[in-house]
Structure 1
Amino acid sequence: MESSTLSLATSGRTDDIRISIDGNVGIGTTSPTAKLDADSDTIRLRSSRTPASASAPGNAGDICWDANYIYICIAADTWKRAALSSW
């Protein structure tokens, strides 16, 4: 392990969480290649939130959801949404 890497693991396991020297955070991976790199087939946002409007406060990259839409903030205080449907 590099001296500038922080790793957390449960007993008998390899890294569960790793923060690399360049600031990338890995969950379930020992070599994260992005700011957040999760080795899983599911990412969960537990709480829903609906921006009040397309110009509601937000930061680029923020993601929210409710029962009808997924919302993505594409620039400061600039939201876009995509409708959800059943299949």
Structure 2
Amino acid sequence: MKKALVAHESPWYQRKPRGSVVDEFEPAIRAVLAEFPDMPTTVIMERVGWERGRMVFFERVQQLRPLFQPVDPASQTEYQPGELAQCDL
């Protein structure tokens, strides 16, 4: 009670984050994706030894996969100044 009266803020309860069951498998998932970025998620599940539900695992792989995908060269068009011009007649 005295702590609450002396404190500059009102007391509040905050739970510690629990994490996810996939957290311990994330390093293995990252290792597989680094070598084979297009591998199907079901195969990744087998490789890392996942034996639980699919949705949590699929969501984590969906978050991680873009980090390991190679950049599409067609989407990176760069022009030097003066290299491209447009003339309308």
- Which bracket does the TM-score occupy, shorter chain normalised? under 0.3
* Bigger Cα Rg: 2
Q: Which gives a bigger RCO, structure 1 or 2 (Cα 8 Å, sep 6+)?
A: 2
Q: TM-score, normalised by structure 1?
A: 0.22
Structure number with the higher strand fraction is: 1
Structure number with the higher helix fraction is: 2
